[in-house]
Amino acid sequence: MSQRPIYLDNHATTPVDPRVLAAMLPYFTEQFGNATSSHVYGWEAEAAVQQGRETLAAAIQAAPEEIIFTSGATEANNLAIKGVAEAYFSKGRHLITVATEHNAVLDPCRYLQSLGFEVTTLPVQPDGLIDLAVLEQAIRPDTVLVSVMAANNEIGVVQPLAEIGALCHDRHVLFHTDAAQAIGKISLNVTAMQIDLMSLTAHKLYGPKGIGALYVRRRSPRVQLAPQLHGGGHERGLRSGTLYTPQIVGLAKAVELAIADMPAESQRVLALSDRLWQSLRQLDGVLLNGHPTQRLPGNLNISVAGVDGSALLLGLQPAIAVSSGSACTSAKRTPSHVLTAMGRSPDLAYASLRFGIGRFNTDAEIDQAADWTIATVRSLREAGSAVVEAPTSRRSAATDSR
Ligand SMILES: *Cc1c(COP(=O)(O)O)cnc(C)c1O
C-alpha cells in the first residue's frame, strides 16, 4: 500500500483517466487552433468540438445543437436557472427546487429570490426522495421552472426523473436537472425522461476539471434562455468565450468511456459499496443515509451514532480520503443541509461519512477502508471523550431497518 490514503471521495472529484488525457494532449500543442478561425488550425479545432458535441448528444439522446459547453456544472446550473428566469420573466416568476440540491442550484435560486422571484423549496422524505404529489401541488400557473437533481452528491439518491419530466410537461413547466453526479453512472435519456435542461460536468467522471455542458431542448418545447455571459456570440449566442478544445475533447472522451463501460462498471462498483456496507454495519449504531437501492452504485453514506464527526474524520485521514457531513465552506461548521433535510439530527449529520467508490478502487482497498473505519470508531467509542450523549432516541434511530 502506498503512503497516500486510499481515495474514496470520487463524488468530490476523480482523477483524469489516462485514456482521456491521451485524447486531450494533441489539442494543447499541434492542434491548438481557435474553433472559430477560418483556416486549417481553426477547422481542426472546430471538428474536434463538433465531434465532442455529437458524442455528448448521443450519450443523452439529444441533438448536437442542443449542447452548450460551459466551464462545469456550476456554470450550467446558473445558465439554466437564471437564463430561464430572465427569458420567461413575463410568463411567470415562480421556481421550484428541492432542499437537498447542490449549492450551485440553491444559490442561483436564492439570488433570484433577492431580485423578487418566488422560489418553493420542496422537502424530501427520510430516504432523500421527493414526493411527487408534493411537487404536483407546488406547481402554479406562474411556475416557469422545476429544478430537481438527477443524483445527489452526498447520499447518491436518484430522483424519479421520468415521472418528474412527465408531470412538468403535463403542466407546461420546464424541467431542469443537475446531472453532474449521474452522467455515466446511470442512463440518462432527455427524450424519454422529458428533460428540458440538463447540467453536466467532466471532473466527476474521470475527465478534466473546468469543463461541462448544458443540454437545452430545441423542440417541443423550444427552451428560451437569456445568456449570462456576453461576448463573441459562441454557442449560438448562449455562452460566449473561446471554446476550450482540449477540455471539450476530454469531456467527450470521458463520457464515451463511462457509457461504454457502464453495465459492467456499475455492477463492479455496486459490489464494492455493498461489501463496504456489509462490513461497516457490523458496528452498532451505524445508519445508512438515503434510499437503500435507488442510489448511485458507488455511493455509501453512513452516520455513526455516538461519535464526534470531526474526531472521526481526523481518525480516518491518515488511511482514507472521504468526506464528512459537515460543510466546511465557511469558518462556522454547519451540518450537511442534505442530511438535515432528510430528518437526521445535527449530531448524526456531523458524524456521517460519504464514501464515493470509483473506477480505480479495488476490493483490497475497500477491505482496508472498512477495517480502518471500524477500528477508528471502536477506539473513539472506547476513549469515550469523543462520545456525544447517546440518547435513547438515537438508539431507536439506529435500529431502523434502513
Ligand atoms: C460537483 C457538482 C456540481 C459542481 O460542478 P462543477 O463542474 O464543479 O462546477 C454541481 N452539482 C452537483 C450535483 C455536483 O456534484
At 297-355, the pLDDT tens digits run 999 999 999 999 899 999 999 999 999 877 655 456 789 999 999 999 999 999 999 99
Give, in order, the Cα–Cα distances in Å from 235 to each of 67, 241, 254, 295, 329: 8, 9, 21, 33, 32
Q: Is the CB of 252 under 6 A from ligand 1?
A: no
Closest CA to 82 of 129, 115, 124: 115
Atom of ligand 1 nearest to the CA of 212: 7
pLDDT of residue 332: 66
| Torsion 261-266-271-272 (CA) sign | positive
Place of cell 470508531: 377
Fold of 6-14+262-383: Aspartate Aminotransferase, domain 1 (3.90.1150)
Ligand 1 midpoint to CA 284 (Å): 33
Q: Regarding the domain delimited by 18-256, which CATH topology (the fold level of the hierarchy) does it fall under?
A: Aspartate Aminotransferase; domain 2 (3.40.640)
Task: Summarize the chain as % helix, strand, coil (round to 5).
Answer: 40, 15, 45
Contacting residues for 238 by C-beta, under 8 A, at least 6 apart: 68, 79, 83, 216, 225, 227
Give the catalytic positions in this structure. Answer: 328
pLDDT in tens, 244-266: 999 999 999 999 999 999 999 99
Prior bond of 221 cis (ω within 30°)? yes
Q: Of the residues 79, 153, 176, which should be mutated to test ligand 1's pocket, given the most ligand atoms within 8 Å of the CB?
A: 153
Checking phi first, is residue 236 left (phi over 0); if not, alpha (psi -120 to 50) or beta?
left
Q: Whose C-alpha lies nearest to ligand 1, atom 2? A: 180
pLDDT recorded at residue 333: 77
Residue 323 beta carbon below 6 angstroms from any ligand 1 atom? no
Q: 67: closest CA among 257, 261, 252?
A: 252
**CB of 193 within 8 A of CB of 165?**
yes
Cell of 20: 482521456
pLDDT beneath 50, residues of the chain:
1, 330, 386-402
**Ligand 1 pocket check for 55: Cβ under 6 Å:** no
Q: What is the 306 CA–ligand 1 centroid distance (Å)?
A: 31
Distance 151 CA to ligand 1 centre (A): 11
Residue 219 per-residue DSSP state: S
Q: How far apart are CA 17 and CA 107, in angstroms?
A: 31
At 357-371, the pLDDT tens digits run 999 999 999 999 999
2-21 exposure pattern, b = at least 16 Cβ within 10 A, e = fewer: eeebbbbbbbeebebbeebb
Residues of the chain with CATH 3.40.640.10: 18-256
Cβ–ligand 1 contact at 280 (below 6 Å) = no
Distance from the CA of 321 to the center of ligand 1, in angstroms? 19
